[in-house]
Chains A and B, each alone.
Chain A
Amino acid sequence: MRAKSPVRPGVLSGVRVLDFTWKTVGPWVPRLLTHYGAEVIHVERAGGWDDHRYNATPSIVSDAPQAAQLPGMKKVYADPQFNTLRDEAPAAQSPGQKKLYAAPYFNTLHHGKLAISLNTRSPEGLKIVERLIGICDALVENFSAEVLPNWGLTWERIHELNAKLIYMSASGFGHTGDWKGYRSFGPTAAAQSGLSLASGLPGKPPAGWGFSYLDVMGGWMGGLALMQGLLKAKKTGKGFYIDYSVTEGAMSMLGTYLLDYQVNGRRTRRPDFPPGNRSVFPALAPHNTYRCAGMDRVGQDWWIFIACETQPQFEALCALMGQPQLALDPKFATNEARVAHQDELDAIIGRWTRPRRRYDIMRQCQGAGIVAAVVQSAEDRVEYDPQLQHREMHPIIDHPELGDFAYEGYPVKMSRTPAFVHGRAPTLGEHNQYVYGELLGMSETQIASLREHGVI
């Protein structure tokens, strides 16, 4: 008899994924499948827990000499406290409130998954990994290239254990080639690929991608490849290996620059690139961010992005600014002239926006058909953005400790088989009983013994 899955049914019901991911880019990959009802089993080390469970605040990772040393792990407080709610700051200091699983980023990245604990360094633990491979459709990991082979789990061995299984390794540089042993994080992959150098002001250091584009998009591309893998395997019934290099994924989003170099010899390492928020191809002006009235909670000014892509848009902007004669000035009368004089033009627009409120400017500009968008923070999007509210992009979900709490939504609206956000992140080892007991058919005694021996 098939065990009843704890996950909500969806298009991918019946698909089971073994998830050895950690950090950020890896966890996104299988998480995307949870929106379609796949059963994703997230494996955490017995006696330890996922990085993001304790990376909740800088204070969690110990800086103190009295920190307990747990075997094989980073030093963490023996009794970590998690500051889970903004109104509960003192909770970080008050003992007795363990909220291991409520760490914000873990709760975001792993929601909808199942969690088991397993000591993969023990022979018994590895046997269990092999049995799990036998009952899963996909295995995803983002360790360094040597980790799984060190466990004895080469692709050949994995394929032998389950010929239908798709194995995806998500790594910085891929699992072949000179750099297969090299390690990376989102920002290093952005640097290596050329992405970082496509973001910033001319003459200044690269600004990079502070929202950590590759930690996010890297996961979304990996998730896509996993879905593609499932589609292919559904057709052929055969498993295969997907070697996903995040850096290569990033390079595949820079094709225009690569062709420009090949054909025109134009490099992205050049004095006038990156061009800040201006547009080079096509050359357009105005196309920039402008300072508005006010600043955020940490003292950063508020900004708005404005662009005119057509002559009527520019004329409308001049009228809005109360300077209709600008559109007749030879320096600004055509797009070509505006591009040539954009420092001066940006200064004029900046003087207009500076004392004005950002959402007022956006409303007025958009009302006149001009491209205008407030540089929105997370607070702006969660608390104000009427579009995201309308699209229900921050759904409320129940959580045993947090109670009803808002989560980030999933942006694919399907008419006949809706995707969903069906859960909070699992607590530590929450699904040991389901996975070991029901899926692997172990008895209570066996499970207790494994627990006693530190295997689970």
Chain B
Amino acid sequence: MSGVYEGYTVVELADRRNQWAGKLLADGGARVIQIEPIQGSPGRWCGPFVDDKVDPERCLDYWWYNTSKQSVALDLARKPAQDLLLRLLAQADIFLESTPPGTLAKLGLDYACVAANRGLIYASLTDFGQDGPWRDLQMNDAAHLALGGQMASSGYSDPKETPIGGHGHQSWHMGCAFVLHGITVALYERMSSGEGQYIDVSIHDACAIGTEAAVPQWMYYGSTMNRQTGMHANPKRQPPLQLPTADGKYMIAVMQNFGPRVWDRLIKWMDEKCVTGELHDPKYQDEAYRMSEYRTGTVVRDAIARLIAASNGEECFHRAQSYGISWGLVHAAEENYDIPHYQQRNYWRSIEHPDIGRALPYPRGPVACDAIQIEPRCRAPRLGEHTQQVLQQDLGLSAQDLASLTASGAIR
């Protein structure tokens, strides 16, 4: 194992917003100590659960976002626990936290209080950052997709239909991407200067620059985006690109190449399905003509829709791709397990779960690269699984210290 974050120690204050960032640090080889409240991270309580039975040790969402981490359970409302965290931060490389602004200052744990550790990179990922008029608003993942502009561009072509925010904590992912940019660049800089610093990332800021052309379209043209079913929002309403297949699936039929090689094979395929219609007219032999007709008319588009409606999804995808046409099939996430391509690329990592008596195939990190090597290394920790180990080994606490802290409820 030679993960890019090997050798760094991270202290992460458990929160649903930042846990993906902590996971990528841990999967990348860092030692990530997640500080959980005594009753467990909020990430342990959201579900789905194993067999749908509520159990903080068996929350699958927590399992996914906390691979390769250690868990230390502290009651930070108590002074002795605050002192323990302060001592852990004194020897950490990175602190990752998502508490409402001001919270840690009250506990004597803000950046000023721990900056004596000159190398510490203290990263706060919060809903709105550390300042501003909306700083203290109540938010969740979907609320960010609304306020940040994602929903305004996602949904259905029917203008009366609701905007849609997709699922899977995507606004938090966007915030995590930027906090990791900051942390990674700060580590790079620290190699020369030896100095850490404070990083303030706002999820709202991150979402706000994540709407592709919507902001430039407004700034340059004063245009408003129309939501369009299954495709890019656009200032102009466009014909559908997400088309139903014969077997009840959907193709994303983005057509950009109208060259003769692609065209001839497409027509032959249409002939097979008896859907070519007037595309046999010689005028479609002219590339410029057919491209123009596609952009402004309905003849080419209708024929493509008929072709897709007459073909099964998988057939359609592979055949189009083999012709150099970049169509995609709407898959379900779980269907990717059966695709040889990802197996050939060694995409799945087998992680042992003794609690359920089997190993589970986890996706590796976003990139295939041995030198960076970000991939799940072991299952998520049980609540407080490493409390004793960390406090003994890192802070030199005795068995007696631990017993009295446990008895007082400061640790678990």
Q: Do A and B bind each other?
A: yes
A150 within 8 Å of B by Cβ?
no
Contacts A223-B181, A263-B60: A207 and B213 contacting too (C-beta < 8 A)? no
> Of A176, A253, A386, A408, which one neighbours B134 at CB under 8 angstroms?
A386
Cβ contact within 8 Å between A63 and B50: no
Q: Say if the beta carbon of B47 comes within 8 Å of chain A.
A: yes
* Minimal beta-carbon separation of A26 from chain B (angstroms): 14
Q: Are B60 and A299 in contact (CB under 8 A)?
A: no
- In the bound complex, residues from chain A placing their C-beta under 8 Å from that of B174 are 217, 220
B interface residues, tally (CB under 8 Å): 155
Per the bound structure, the CA–CA distance linking A281 and B139 in Å amounts to: 16
B407 at the interface (CB under 8 A from A): no
Q: What residues of chain A lie closer than 8 Å to B152, measured between beta carbons?
A: 375-378, 380
Known: A243-B367, A253-B168, A375-B146. A300 touches B208 (CB 8 A): no
| A-B CB proximity, top 3 nearest | A188-B328, A194-B333, A199-B166
Query: Bound state CA distance, A248 and B143, in angstroms?
Result: 27
Chain B residues positioned under 8 Å from A46 (CB to CB): none
- A selection of 26 A-B contacts at a CB cut-off of 8 Å is A184-B328, A206-B242, A207-B230, A208-B154, A211-B150, A211-B154, A211-B212, A224-B180, A227-B184, A228-B374, A244-B368, A254-B363, A256-B65, A261-B337, A291-B162, A303-B163, A305-B151, A307-B140, A372-B138, A374-B146, A376-B147, A378-B218, A379-B224, A382-B218, A387-B202, A406-B219
How long is the Cα–Cα vector from A255 to B374 in the complex, in angstroms?
Answer: 14
Q: Does B222 contact A (CB under 8 A)?
A: yes
Does B390 interact with chain A (Cβ within 8 Å)?
Answer: no
* Nearest CB on A from B94, distance (A): 13
CA distance A376 to B204 in the complex (A): 12
Inter-chain contacts of B325 with A (CB < 8 A):
183
Cβ contact within 8 Å between A377 and B217: no
Could you tell me if B209 and A410 are in contact, using CB atoms closer than 8 angstroms?
yes
By a CB distance below 8 angstroms, the chain A residues around B165 are 199, 277, 289, 305
- Report chain A residues within 8 Å CB of B198: 414-416
Closest to A233 in B: B371
Most chain A Cβ neighbours within 10 Å, of B137, B191, B366: B366
Q: Is the interface of B mostly helix, strand, loop or mixed?
A: mixed
* Residue of A whose beta carbon sits closest to that of B220: A104
What chain B residues lie within 8 Å of A220 (beta carbons)? 174, 177-178, 181, 210
Flag whether B101 is at the interface (Cβ < 8 A): no
Write the chain B residue with the least CB distance to A297. B224
Instruction: Indicate if the CB atoms of A371 and B143 lie closer than 8 Å.
Output: yes
A408 touches B209 (CB 8 A): yes
Interface residues of A in 289-318 (CB under 8 A from B): 289, 291, 296-301, 303-305, 307, 309, 313
Assembly CA distance A370 to B370 (angstroms): 46
Cα(A375)–Cα(B211), bound, Å: 13
Task: Tell whether A387 pairs with B128 under 8 Å between CB atoms, given A198-B333, A274-B166.
Answer: yes
A262 pairs with B326, CB closer than 8 A: no
- B236, CB-defined interface residue at 8 Å: yes
Segment at the A interface, from B300-308, B339-347, B395-403? B339-347
| B164 surroundings in chain A (CB, below 8 A) | 199-201, 207, 276-277
Interface 1/0 per residue, B38-52 and A, CB below 8 Å: 000000011110111
Closest partner residue, chain A, to B151 (CB atom): A375
Q: Are B60 and A260 in touch, CB under 8 angstroms?
A: yes
- Are A301 and B160 in touch, CB under 8 angstroms? yes
User: Interface readout for A315-347 with B: 1 if CB under 8 Å, 0 if not?
Assistant: 000000000000000000000000000000000
Whether the Cβ atoms of A235 and B191 lie closer than 8 Å is yes
Contacts of B213 on A, CB cut-off 8 Å?
Answer: 104-105, 108
List 20 additional contacts besides A242-B371, A251-B347; criterion CB under 8 Å: A104-B213, A108-B213, A177-B345, A193-B336, A199-B164, A208-B231, A210-B233, A216-B210, A224-B366, A227-B184, A233-B371, A243-B367, A243-B368, A248-B347, A261-B333, A280-B167, A289-B162, A373-B146, A373-B147, A376-B148
> B159 contacts which chain A residues (CB < 8 A)?
298-301
Q: Answer yes or no: B105 CB below 8 A from chain A CBs.
A: no
Given A264-B52, A386-B132: A242 touches B205 (CB 8 Å cut-off): no
Of the listed stretches B76-84, B271-279, B354-362, chain A binds B354-362
Interface residues of A in 229-253 (CB under 8 A from B): 229-236, 238, 240-245, 248-249, 251-253
In the docked arrangement, what's the CA distance between A262 and B46, Å?
A: 18
Q: Are A188 and B60 touching (Cβ within 8 A)?
A: no
Cβ A277 vs Cβ B162 within 8 A: yes
Tell whether, in the assembled complex, residue B334 and residue A258 are in contact, meaning their CB atoms are under 8 Å apart.
Answer: yes
Q: A199-B164, A205-B250, A242-B372 are in contact. Are A416 and B321 (CB under 8 A)?
A: no
Interface residue ranges of B294-353 to A (CB < 8 Å): 295-296, 321, 324-337, 340-342, 344-345, 347
Among the stretches A80-88, A128-136, A433-441, the one at the interface with B is A80-88
In this complex, what residue of A is CB-closest to B180? A224
A11-B188, A220-B174, A303-B151 given; A255·B232 CB < 8 A: no
CB atoms of A86 and B362 under 8 A apart: no
Contact check, B186 vs A300: say whether CB atoms are below 8 A apart.
Answer: no
Among B175-234, those with CB < 8 Å from A are 177-182, 184-189, 191, 195, 197-202, 204-206, 208-233
Is A282 located at the chain interface by the 8 A CB criterion? yes
A378 CB → nearest B CB, Å = 4
Does B369 reach chain A (CB closer than 8 Å)? yes
Residues of B within 8 A of A248 (CB): 342, 345, 347, 363-364, 366-368
Q: Which residue of A has the minimal Cβ distance to B253?
A: A188
Q: How far is the CA of A183 from the CA of B326 in the complex (A)?
A: 5
Given the complex of chains A and B, what is the CA–CA distance between A177 and B292 in angstroms? 35
Bound-state Cα–Cα, A2 to B148, Å = 43
What chain A residues lie within 8 Å of B332 (beta carbons)? Answer: 194, 197, 267-269
Residues of A within 8 Å of B370, CB to CB, are: 240
Residues of B within 8 A of A208 (CB): 154, 229-231, 242, 252
